[in-house]
Structure 1
């Protein structure tokens, strides 16, 4: 009743005497005012309901983000997790009675990888059945049906992003850029976060479709200076026998012009030789170089500027390349290099650095597709297993593995009795591996979105 009085009090004429009698026609005016007041009350209620729905959606988004943070933690450095274990042997002690942390740091990497460090599954219970069905369809080559089912499942995901990630991967594998961009808009609207970047593996898969094996890797750390010459020499020698090379920059903390010149020369030569490159932490290195240069300031050499432009080109950041090129032109009063789209270059997420773990584990690169019988690949894997206690399979180029082949690989790996990791797996393949029990014998790390 107080609410009604409050609403109608708005229309009272405070300057009229309390005893004034209503004039003829005032009844109609009062009726219109009452109708308008009721309409306003209904509109207010509708606005409140809309606000309540928006608030509920915001809460759901926050909860989804919290769930995402829990289940999509950054990929740890290889072997860096060291969970407590019952009856663990006592560590050596310092003279002051404290634990010998250096002795712990010297433990071989393979001893730090344990089965109790297996990653958590990221698929919500309510979406697991449809995820498994889609994984089987895709594995059997029915990508179109898998796409339809994924699109139909988006509305029922209830905050679980697995089906979104699977659809993103499907579009990238098939090279469907327009559909990927449309999905990105819906993803950003639904989760209020940036969508995944386009990084289709199709070109890389076509570059060397049948190649598999150990990936020659060079990890750069500390200051990028003239001392990297030996590493670059090893890289050039490895390029003679391998079509694929991996360069890691995630632990570089400073750059000097001499090191920039050496790395620039090597990158240009590898590109000229049509070598396929996997760059880890290249964006971080580009940011580090940018922090050390300034428009209009001429240093002893142009090498940092030119290396920055080379990295932006390899990262396929054309707009940023053009802007930096103009700054370079103003600074040195010369024409900047022209942008050329990168050829056979992939990027990978930088791992969290760890003082006790090698930054360049030896990885076995799997081919773009595994179908039918594994054939010679099993022999290569066996040779790899004979050399290492922990097997790390790089799946960054693996787009699909069929159901029968996945079962055959599982049986072969089970017989090896080794510690196994699958890194940078797309989410379609991840779902199949988990369905077939790979999580019981290996650690599976899907690539990050």
Structure 2
């Protein structure tokens, strides 16, 4: 049965409204979920370990005598690594090495060493960069187990210099994913607790007798986890509130249509709300991609999820030319942007908003998910207009350095006092004037 994916044409008078309808995603918070998360957080804040144990028993069917029984010893993490089949262990190690190398280079290039400079009168100004002390990473468990998320969240934290990384991962009915545990060993995670949900977020944010409070929480989770992260922001830092996964493919019609169809599938298979869009100036090529979608779908184990995603949120968009394709891409500001063209850099230069750009027909988005090196935690739902991929910089903070010389205080003190009087803040003015000769 053909996939009923929407086809749009940029020359249609109502194209913009049609595209807006495709992009529309109501991330409206479910009030029941938000209130449930709020109750759980309040309970964990008040009762600590006892509350976490009760929720873990209720939601994950784990009846532990104490939180200590839910902590996985580091020896077990390394045993999981040792027990992997050789090919899988090599793949995991290679991916980790590439992720680490990229983020080490990122640390060098993003001003992580701080700076100072001295003015003519001896005043020293600058910035000191220091890592966050302790970070919590949330890793999905149960059916959705993602070792790649462990690497992408823990490695940049360690590269940034975070002293302690604490991982929480739900293990419903006690079922542990050995690849996730192995990834924790490779990434240098310090402690792992088999807890999940809003209760895990609360434990990390507030701390309990057993689980220390962290300074920042990162990592994806379900709606309850997202609601809890939103509520604890301000008590701790968070990375982002992520929406459904997205891919936007800009293609000039020169790539094998089977490749592009499968790239669209690679996001659509995440869940029914994921979004996959192709933009191309070649109408005949769009038809070939449609035919490939219909032909290849039946071989996909998650074909019903893909079909629903493409039908409800997918689109094949015909445009006038690649210049217009880039303009539309900037408006969409997709999480993943593939530029599958003969001269991808030409078009990449025109892109201002994208979480990650994959240039050339051999750069499939799936490589970025696992092993290319750059982080796969990316802004979604058009937030790439103002935010960035998770990186080393997310695990650091910057302190301004102000060392005013006696001579500098004579100049700056008069300026500050004048402005303070203008604001009606007499003590501010006096504080500056006390330093004047």
Which protein has greater RCO, CA pairs closer than 8 Å, 6+ apart? 2
TM range (shorter): under 0.3
Structure with bigger gyration radius: 1
